[in-house]
């Protein structure tokens, strides 16, 4: 990976396995302390961009087995300062209909078995500031999603003519199963707006690395109990219909960075 850098990173979620307008792209492998990561490097609107498919090409990796630490560290090693992620989510609110686009500002984590931090007492890393961060680190997550980047995404959607939800609480579950109606009822009671399986620990790991991270969530269905049943095929079908919209919002966001 010697010599490769990128200012902006894109993480594609379910159904978003490539960035269509990534010009002069090249596939590279980046070695990290937690495993190797395949990333495409190219240009969007004249800016260097790194694209990573969270689940691999063709959705080969389930959400609870994504190597979140390796992915985040690979972006850090490339010099990425901004990361735009996409997530397919279910809606917990009747007003947030399938097909809606939401830019979340908060998250509640209900995952169970994942690696939630780089700083387990033995890991250390030299930050962009030159300071070394290591040992036990308690990271502030008052604003888990980067407000600067959220505002750029919201502005980009506005310029492109899309009506979106500019905030929302993302409930992250372990997966790969969908949630029960009883769980969904509970998530609604505690203030959740969206439910998905991939925001955690991703959002927290980028926070630890001091990289500006925000997400574009595509609502693919109402959650369990709000409709008859939920299938992965339905999720991909709705997301596929929104891919061009998401790509346009991402492109215009990149232009604003």
Instruction: Give the tens place of pLDDT for each residue, 88-111.
Output: 999 999 999 999 999 999 999 999
Res. 8 pLDDT band, cuts 50 70 90: very high
Radius of gyration of the chain (CA): 17
Question: To the nearest whole number, what is the mean pLDDT of the chain?
Answer: 92
pLDDT at 27 over 80: yes
Do you find a cis peptide bond into 211, omega within 30 degrees of 0?
no
- Residue 44 CB-half CA count within 13 A: 26
Res. 130 pLDDT band, cuts 50 70 90: very high
For the ranges 37-51, 52-66, 220-234, the one whose mean pLDDT is highest: 37-51
Q: How far apart are CA 183 and CA 189, in angstroms?
A: 10
Say which CATH architecture domain 8-256 belongs to.
Answer: 3-Layer(aba) Sandwich (3.40)
Closest CA to 173 of 158, 187, 152, 191: 187
Bigger pLDDT: 33 or 59?
33
User: What per-residue confidence (pLDDT) applies to 1?
Assistant: 43
Q: Are 153 and 162 in contact (CB under 8 A)?
A: no
Domain borders along the chain are: 8-256
Q: How far apart are CA 201 and CA 146, in angstroms?
A: 15
Region 218-235: what's the mean pLDDT?
82
Region 8-26: what's the mean pLDDT?
84
Res. 19 pLDDT band, cuts 50 70 90: confident
pLDDT at 212 over 90: yes
pLDDT at 250 over 60: yes
Query: The pTM is what?
Result: 0.93
Helix (H) or strand (E) holding 52: strand 47-53
Region 116-144: what's the mean pLDDT?
94
Q: Would you call 230 helix, strand, or coil by DSSP? A: coil
pLDDT at 15 over 70: no
User: What per-residue confidence (pLDDT) applies to 230?
Assistant: 67
Region 116-126: what's the mean pLDDT?
94
Percent of the chain at pLDDT > 70 equals 97
Q: Is 195 left (phi over 0), alpha (psi -120 to 50) or beta?
A: beta
Least confident range of 2-6, 39-43, 184-188? 2-6
pLDDT at 3 over 50: yes
User: What per-residue confidence (pLDDT) applies to 242?
Assistant: 84
For the ranges 34-38, 53-57, 224-228, the one whose mean pLDDT is highest: 34-38
Least confident range of 41-50, 72-81, 234-243? 234-243
């Amino acid at each position: 990976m010697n010599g490769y850098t990128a200012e902006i990173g894109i993480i594609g979620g379910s159904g978003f396995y490539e960035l269509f307008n990534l010009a002069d792209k090249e596939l590279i492998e980046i070695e990290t302390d937690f495993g190797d990561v395949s990333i495409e490097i190219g240009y969007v609107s004249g800016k260097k961009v790194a694209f990573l498919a969270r689940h691999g090409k063709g959705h080969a990796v389930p959400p609870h087995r994504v190597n979140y630490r390796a992915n985040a560290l690979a972006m850090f090693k490339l010099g990425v300062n901004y990361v735009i992620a996409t997530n397919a989510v279910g809606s917990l609110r009747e007003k947030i209909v399938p097909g809606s686009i939401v830019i979340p500002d908060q998250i509640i984590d209900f995952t169970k078995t994942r690696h939630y931090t780089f700083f387990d007492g033995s890991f250390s890393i030299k930050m962009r500031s030159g300071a070394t961060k290591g040992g036990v680190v308690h990271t502030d997550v008052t604003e888990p999603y980067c407000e600067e980047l959220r505002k750029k995404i919201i502005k980009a959607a506005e310029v492109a003519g899309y009506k979106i939800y500019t905030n929302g609480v993302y409930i992250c579950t372990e997966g790969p199963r969908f949630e029960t109606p009883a769980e969904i009822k509970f998530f609604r009671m505690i203030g959740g707006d969206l439910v998905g399986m991939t925001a955690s620990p991703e959002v927290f790991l980028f926070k630890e690395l001091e990289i500006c991270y925000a997400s574009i969530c595509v609502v693919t269905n109402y959650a369990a109990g709000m409709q008859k049943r939920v299938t992965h095929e339905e999720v991909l079908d709705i997301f596929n219909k929104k891919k061009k919209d998401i790509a346009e919002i991402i492109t215009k966001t990149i232009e604003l960075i």
